Amino acid sequence: MTGEAGFRARLLAEVAAGRSVIEIRPLLVEQLERGVKREDLYQELIDTMLFLRAEGRDDDEDAVADVADLMSNWVLPEYRV
């Protein structure tokens, strides 16, 4: 777990503000630097996507999926977290 419900709120605030994936990237880096395990952080992103899907917030779900891609091989190495 990320250890705080505040992560999801901060992430969703960034998405709602229309921030780009690259602008949201420091939020992920911050969590990892605080000691959150990569697997737990990725799972929180997936859980957030499922929450948004259940709420019918497709555009926000897509934005969080793009953020989750930063933790995968779907982005250029210099952007990976």
- Check residue 4 and give its pLDDT: 56
Give me the residue spans of the domains in the chain.
6-79
| pLDDT (tens digit per residue) in 33-48 | 999 999 999 999 999 9
CA distances from 27 to 53, 54, 55, 79 (A): 22, 24, 23, 13
| pLDDT (tens digit per residue) in 13-24 | 999 999 999 999
pTM of the model: 0.88
Q: Please determine, for residue 77, whether its predicted confidence score (pLDDT) is greater than 90.
A: no
Report CA 76 to chain centroid distance, whole Å. 17
| pLDDT (tens digit per residue) in 48-66 | 999 999 999 999 999 999 9
Copy the structure tokens of residue 28. 């992920």
